[in-house]
Amino acid sequence: MSLRTRQGQAPGPDEGPGWLPAALALADQLDATNPLAHLRERFVLPEGLVYLDGNSLGPLPAHVPAVVADLLTRQWGHDLIASWDSNDWWTAPLRVGARVSALIGAQPEEVLATDSVSVNLHKLIPAAVALRPGRGSIVVEPGSFPTDLYVADAVAAARGLRVLRVGPDRLAEQIDDDVALVVYNQVDYRTGRAYDVAELTRVAHRAGALMLWDLSHSAGVLPVDFDTHEIDFAVGCGYKYLNGGPGAPGFVVAAERHLEDLPVPLAGWHGHARPFAMQDGFVPAPGIGRLRVGSPPIISLLTLQAALDVYDDLDVAELRRASLSLTGLFLDLAVELLVPRGLQVLTPAEPQRRGSQVSLAHPQASAVVRALTARSVVGDFREPDIVRLGFAPLYVTHADVVRAVQALIAVVDGAEHEDPRFARPRTEG
Ligand SMILES: Cc1ncc(COP(=O)(O)O)c(C=O)c1O
């Protein structure tokens, strides 16, 4: 739906850059009726900044510094080693995992907050493959986040398996009874395209394969319904939409039906059934706790736990509605105003096919992102030519959407991205 039809009339000729007053009025109206709008106050966001990078690093929830201060000064500083019991440090990975479970439709006992996504994939991919003995291949999506591909390749090389790069659109025709496991991302980190978790999980299961979803770009913003769709395994990030802070532990999910026999490829003392027995010989803990390895980064883990308070009592369906409203407004404006200026929209327009980000292609995307940042609109660049903008419904407003479009127009119309200050830095290769 275009801005004009949403408003019922075209912006008048005296209203500045034509589209802007109508867009701002619409944004105000949408923000005023957004039931999640009050949540923005729960975050520390620099005045005037439009932060569209929560899909890389979520912002700081305002109550978290006090929790961390208590953690440092009282729990560590005063209670010291006793904290493993008295402050429940030992059970934290399970407790924080249970908090995440509510966001992804899993049982609390199915989720553990621990380690990075990469490490968690190193646990789950070999474990899943071992549950399908006699099958020799793993399917991955060629456009997956690279770590998923690296881990699948490494596991396959170590175990003499084949990795088939088959995109979701071709899974049904290509999967066969040699496939042990399919590893897909619910939302494509580059294009923002969302995949049909229910249908693709069914396709994998019909072929007798297991299904592992990387939820890094969906947990906290899209419904996952892990149990309803009988998903086998999942992983996801703690530092993106969950706002757990830089390097926050991720999470690992295994369906209850697999837990009893789940092999433990990365054995370590925290995953032992009786860690303090200090005995020779690994005996896996019952349940999801067997996927623990070594001492968790307690400060990060409890920071993530505190950050998750923002999600208390929130309904994922509500978050999804708010996210779609933000991306919908951005897409409407992008089609009318940015496409004619040479930016190409990569994210599908259909609501069920898009995540909580919108990606635009531009031949000088890296410089465009830097020029946007100079205008206090923070998104990020992804290879080869992508401007990636994340619309986290907890703190992004419709007014932010309009400001982002306004800034993009100013950058492109003023050729600001051609300023040598915004040339590609060496770290971007
Ligand atoms: C889809 C996806 N998977 C995995 C990762 C990497 O996670 P980690 O750094 O926790 O290994 C990312 C990071 O951006 C990601 O976007």
| Residues 6 or more apart whose Cβ sits within 8 Å of residue 396 | 50, 51, 52, 54, 326, 390
Does residue 105 surpass a pLDDT of 60? yes
8-state DSSP, 391: -
Tell me the per-residue pLDDT of 179-232, one tens digit each, with 9 for 90 and over.
Answer: 999 999 999 999 999 999 999 999 999 999 999 999 999 999 999 999 999 999
What would the mean pLDDT of 292-303 be, rounded to a whole number? Answer: 98
> What stretches of 177-334 show up as alpha helix (H) in DSSP?
197-206, 256-259, 298-307, 316-333
Task: Judge whether 3-62+315-428 and 88-311 match in fold.
Answer: no
DSSP per position, 157-195? HHHT-EEEE--GGGHHHH--TTEEEEEEESB-TTT-BBP
- Residues of the chain with pLDDT > 90: what percent? 94
**CB contact burial 216-249 (16+ within 10 A = b; e otherwise):** bbbbbbbbbbbbebebbbbbbbbbbbbbbbeebb
Cα 34 to chain centroid, rounded: 22
Q: Give the pair of three-digit tokens for residue 248.
A: 């926050």
Cα 28 to chain centroid, rounded: 28
Residue 14 is predicted with a pLDDT of: 41
Does residue 13 surpass a pLDDT of 90? no
Residue pair 126/155 in contact by the 8 Å Cβ criterion? yes
Q: Where are the beta strands (DSSP E) in 242-281?
A: 251-254
Residue 7 is predicted with a pLDDT of: 42
Residue 424 — pLDDT band, cuts 50, 70, 90?
confident
Give the residue, by CA position, lying nearest to ligand 1 atom 14: 56
Least confident of 3-7, 66-70, 360-364, 390-394: 3-7
Ligand 1, pocket-test mutation among 53, 56, 57, 117, most atoms within 8 A of CB? 117
- Helical (H) or strand (E) element with 374: helix 365-374
Catalytic residues: 145, 214, 239-240, 388
Q: Distance (Å, rounded) from C-alpha 91 to C-alpha 114?
A: 11
What would the mean pLDDT of 248-256 be, rounded to a whole number? Answer: 98
Q: Domain segments of the chain: what residues? A: 3-62+315-428, 88-311
Smallest CA-to-CA distance from 220 within 128, 101, 334, 134 is with 101
CATH of domain 3-62+315-428: 3.90.1150.10
Does residue 365 surpass a pLDDT of 80? yes
CA of 147 to the centre of ligand 1 (A): 7
Q: Where are the beta strands (DSSP E) in 11-167?
A: 43-44, 50-51, 60-61, 111-113, 137-140, 162-165
Residue found under tokens 């953690």:
71
Give the residue, by CA position, lying nearest to ligand 1 atom 5: 117
3-state secondary structure of 4: helix
3-state secondary structure of 40: helix
Residue 427 is predicted with a pLDDT of: 66
Can you name the residues that pair with 140 across neighbouring β-strands?
165, 183
Residue 79 carries which side chain, given as an amino acid letter? Answer: D
Residue 8 is predicted with a pLDDT of: 41
Q: Distance (Å, rounded) from C-alpha 200 to C-alpha 174?
A: 12
Residue 429 is predicted with a pLDDT of: 52
Rounded to two decimals, the pTM is 0.95
CA of 150 to the centre of ligand 1 (A): 12
Give the residue, by CA position, lying nearest to ligand 1 atom 4: 117
Tell me the per-residue pLDDT of 371-383, one tens digit each, with 9 for 90 and over.
Answer: 999 999 999 999 9
Q: Distance (Å, rounded) from C-alpha 48 to C-alpha 363?
A: 28
Burial degree of 204 (CB within 10 A; 0-12, 13-18, 19+):
buried
Q: Which residues have any ligand 1 atom within 6 Å of their CB?
A: 116-118, 145, 147-148, 185, 189, 214, 216-217, 237, 250
Residue 147 is predicted with a pLDDT of: 98
Mean pLDDT, the chain, as a whole number? 95
Work out which ligand 1 atom sits closest to the CA atom of 238: 10
Does residue 272 surpass a pLDDT of 70? yes
CA distance to 217, 258, 320, 356, per residue, from 131 (Å): 27, 9, 34, 33
CA of 9 to the centre of ligand 1 (A): 44
Residue 15 carries which side chain, given as an amino acid letter? Answer: E
CATH number 3.40.640.10 given to 88-311: yes
CA of 216 to the centre of ligand 1 (A): 6
What would the mean pLDDT of 292-317 be, rounded to a whole number? Answer: 97
